Amino acid sequence: MRYIILLSLFFIVLGCSNNDNDVVQEEEQEQNIELKIKKFTITAIYNNNWRLEYSFDEEAKPIQYFSTLDSINGVKVDILYNDLGQLTGVVGVLINEGQTTPWLHTVNEYNSSNELEKVNRFNENGSAFGLLTATHYQDSIQVEREFGEDGDTNYTLIFGANNLLIQENLESHAWNPNPTVTKYSYSNGNLININEDNGSNIYNINYEHDDKKNPLHPVLTRDYKTFILDDMGLSLAYNKTYSFSKNNITSYNDYGNLRVITYQYNDLGYPISAEVLVDGELIERFTYEYY
């Protein structure tokens, strides 16, 4: 009888031990789950709740950009790819009272090394009115940008360790007569400083981060140089600041104004929403959706 009782206790203890191990394994599995961004939305409180929506497929490719004030009317840009997954251009339309009209489109060309070489820009009538030409070197890219009313600009992008952009040399041009040197500094995979010197003014932007995964970072790193070059086709380029770092930015000084970003996270440590404050005033909201 004593033997049976001891044997029963042994199996009970063993069962508890197995249950504990199961819990630990489940927690470890949860920690290793990687979510993929489906939609990132910026709502500009300071601008009548103007909304910018960025949509992505399950391979972290941006596929659509939508800018709107009322969820119905606005500008919609579809981002196109070829069978190799290369960004081939965009098609943009204006939406007004449910009716769409052409807005702009771009067509990208690649060289024999599959590097983005040209971005051809066309207006709503299909007429060419802009061209970006890129020449690739081992650690840099020389760019000639002729985009109509935006003016002609020439600049050089210089890359350092891990293929990160470390410097941009912008030559003088119509709307900025001073050559400008912009330097980017990183630490532990995060952008920590941008230093911009145009010869008459020096701007320093310092960034701080949390310790959570930034779901937008894989989007930029997926095809880093292409996304940086194609600043017209890839609408996410307007907000690259939020993609440069592996963790989420919690504060930065935006040309004299301190922006503080407070996040809400899900159980896996991914941001699901955020509020951006300047001098204590709410100016923007972020929302994140995942696959």
Q: Residue ranges per domain, the chain?
A: 38-290
Strands (E) in 172-246, as ranges, are: 180-187, 190-197, 202-213
Task: Report the CATH number of the 38-290 domain.
Answer: 2.40.160
Count of other CB atoms within 10 angstroms of residue 62:
26
pTM: 0.85
Q: Residues 118, 120, 123, CA angle at the centre, nearest 5°?
A: 165
Greatest C-alpha distance within the chain: 97
- CB–CB of 214/246 below 8 Å? yes
Q: Tell me the two tokens of residue 152.
A: 């002609």
Chain-centre distance for alpha carbon 208: 17
Q: CB under 8 Å to 194, separation ≥6 — which residues?
A: 182, 183, 184, 185, 203, 204, 205
* Sequential pLDDT tens for the chain (291 residues): 555 554 454 445 455 555 555 554 444 445 578 999 999 999 999 999 999 999 999 998 999 999 999 989 999 999 999 999 999 999 999 999 989 999 999 999 999 999 999 999 999 999 998 899 999 999 999 999 887 666 788 999 999 988 899 999 999 877 778 899 999 999 999 999 999 999 889 999 999 999 999 999 999 888 888 888 887 666 665 677 889 999 999 999 987 899 999 999 999 999 999 999 998 999 999 999 999
* Cα–Cα distance for residue pair 73/198, rounded to 1 Å: 38
**Closest to 216 measured CA to CA, from 45, 52, 4:** 52
Residue 289: predicted pLDDT: 98
- CB–CB of 207/190 below 8 Å? yes
* Cα–Cα distance for residue pair 197/107, rounded to 1 Å: 33
- CB–CB of 136/143 below 8 Å? no
